Structure formats: C-alpha cells, structure tokens
C-alpha cells in the first residue's frame, strides 16, 4: 500500500486466493515483510497514506458510500465481475453480500473475514499486490475494526470495580506492538513510552503482571472478570 497509486485501486489476481487461514507462519512471514517495507517510509508519508485510504473521506469510506447508493451497480465492484476463476468469484461474492448488508441492502450476513488473525487481515488490506479485489480489502479492514473494537471493550471491562490498571496498559502495549507502521503513524509521538511508563508505575504499586499468555489471547478465551481474578491479589483494593 505504501507505493499505491489512487488511480489503481483494485489489482485483481486471475488465480485462486483463498479466504481461509492456511496457518500462522505464512501470514506472519508476509506480515513481517509488510513491516519491513513500510518501515522504509517516513511517518508523515505513512500518515498521509492512512488518511487517503482510511480517513473519513478516504477510499474505503467511498467504497461503502458507493455500494450504499448503487448496490451491485457500484463501480467499485467491477473487478469482482471481471474475475475469471469460478472459485475466486464465489469467494468475492460472499464479500459483496456482506458489503451490501453493511449498507442495509439485504439481511445481515457474516463478514467472510471474521475470525482471521489480525496479521492475516493486514496482509489482505495493506498489500495491494496480494490479488484481492477492493471490496475484499474493504471487508478485511472492517473485520480488523470489529476485532479491535471487541478487544478494547473487553480491555476496558477489566477496570470495573478496581483501582489497578495493569491489564489495561499491558493490553494497550500489546495491541500497539501488533500494528503495522502505517497504523502506528496516526498515534502521537511517545505513545508507547507513555503506556510503558503507566504500566511500570502500576507494577510498582501492585507487583509484576505475570501471565502465561498475552492479554489479546487471554481475552479471546476467558472473560474480563476471570482475567482480573487471575491477576488480582487479595490485598488489592476493590471498589
């Protein structure tokens, strides 16, 4: 995406690009390649690209607007109609159904990208050479947004009724460290150092936060209340 020309929004592969997750390792290799590629650009350049694609008047916002206005006649779906592989057409059509549902043009359907690892989704959204249509990249970005929102809701829930915030600051650090450079570009300078300082202060008050998994993984398998109970000492103040 770092070298993307806005006039070339929708590169399409004529071969097969599966929506299913084929395992962590290939996606992580691809993800780290994207990290390396984007790290070569300045923060200002990445910030402008982020605004161009994901801002309130960005490309993805216009995708949603055009589909809402024109439905299947939207020009952003042209490349779906041009797919030559029947398998790719079927996969892309599932995404089109989701995009139409997002615009209240049909009953709600599950986003085909829901449940995939964040790193795998980033490889769909941020690599314009990966062979996905624009609407597929739009849907993958929506899946990232939904996943992030769910995580932050659960993270905030670990603060209810208690004073300590170790889980919150650990979770914020973990989430930030999983972002691509283009995603980090919208954060203020010193963001990570500030969250680390908050965590250090909390651990001085309440002790080191010892977890057998990262916060992201734990909140996918247990409730915020259960996670809090795991880390909370009997002497911690409860409101």
Residue 151 lies in a domain: no
Residue 210 is encoded by which pair of tokens?
């010892």
173 in the same domain as 130: no
140 in the same domain as 44: yes
183 in the same domain as 121: no
82 in the same domain as 29: yes
**Helix, strand, coil percent content, the chain, rounded in steps of 5:** 60, 0, 40
Residue 38 lies in a domain: yes
Residue 81 lies in a domain: yes
197 in the same domain as 168: yes
pLDDT for 1: 63
108 in the same domain as 139: yes
What average pLDDT does the chain have? Answer: 87
pLDDT for 7: 39
Cα distances from 210 to residues 20, 177, 207, 213, 228, in angstroms, run 34, 19, 9, 9, 12
Residue 17 lies in a domain: no
* 92-108 residue pLDDT tens: 999 999 999 988 777 88
pLDDT for 150: 96
169 in the same domain as 62: no
Residue 75 lies in a domain: yes
Instruction: Give every residue of the chain whose pLDDT is below 50, as ranges.
Output: 3-23, 234-239
103 in the same domain as 131: yes
pLDDT for 19: 42
Buried b (16+ CB within 10 A) or exposed e, 119-137: bbbbbbbbbbebbbbbbbb
163 in the same domain as 123: no
132 in the same domain as 200: no
In the chain, how many domains are there? 2
- Domain range for 84 is 24-144
**Burial bucket for residue 7 (CB in 10 Å: 0-12, 13-18, 19+):** exposed
136 in the same domain as 96: yes
Compute the distance between CA of residue 113 and CA of residue 100 in angstroms, rounded to an integer: 15
50 in the same domain as 139: yes
Cα distances from 175 to residues 19, 56, 109, 134, 216, in angstroms, run 24, 23, 28, 26, 8
Compute the distance between CA of residue 136 and CA of residue 77 in angstroms, rounded to an integer: 10
pLDDT for 13: 38
Answer with the one of 144, 179, 200 that is the final residue of a domain: 144
pLDDT for 24: 52
Residue 65 lies in a domain: yes
């Amino acid at each position: 995406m770092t070298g993307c020309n806005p006039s070339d929004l929708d590169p399409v592969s004529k071969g097969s690009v599966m929506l299913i997750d084929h395992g962590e390792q290939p996606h992580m290799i691809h993800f780290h390649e994207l990290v390396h590629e984007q790290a070569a650009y300045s923060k200002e350049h990445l910030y402008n690209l982020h605004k161009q694609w994901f801002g309130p008047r960005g490309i993805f916002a216009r995708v949603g607007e055009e589909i809402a206005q024109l439905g299947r006649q939207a020009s952003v779906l042209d490349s779906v109609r041009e797919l030559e592989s029947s398998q790719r057409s079927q996969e892309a059509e599932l995404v089109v159904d989701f995009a139409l549902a997002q615009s209240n043009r049909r009953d709600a359907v599950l986003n085909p990208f829901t449940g995939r690892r964040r790193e795998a989704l980033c490889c769909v959204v941020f690599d314009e050479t990966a062979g996905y249509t624009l609407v597929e990249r739009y849907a993958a970005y929506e899946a990232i947004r939904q996943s992030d929102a769910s995580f932050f809701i659960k993270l905030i829930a670990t603060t209810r009724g208690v004073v300590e915030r170790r889980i919150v600051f650990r979770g914020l650090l973990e989430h930030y460290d999983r972002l691509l450079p283009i995603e980090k570009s919208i954060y203020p300078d010193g963001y990570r150092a500030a969250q680390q300082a908050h965590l250090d202060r909390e651990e001085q008050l309440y002790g080191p936060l010892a977890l057998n998994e990262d916060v992201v993984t734990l909140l996918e398998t247990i409730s915020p209340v259960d996670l809090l109970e795991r880390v909370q000492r009997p002497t911690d103040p409860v409101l």
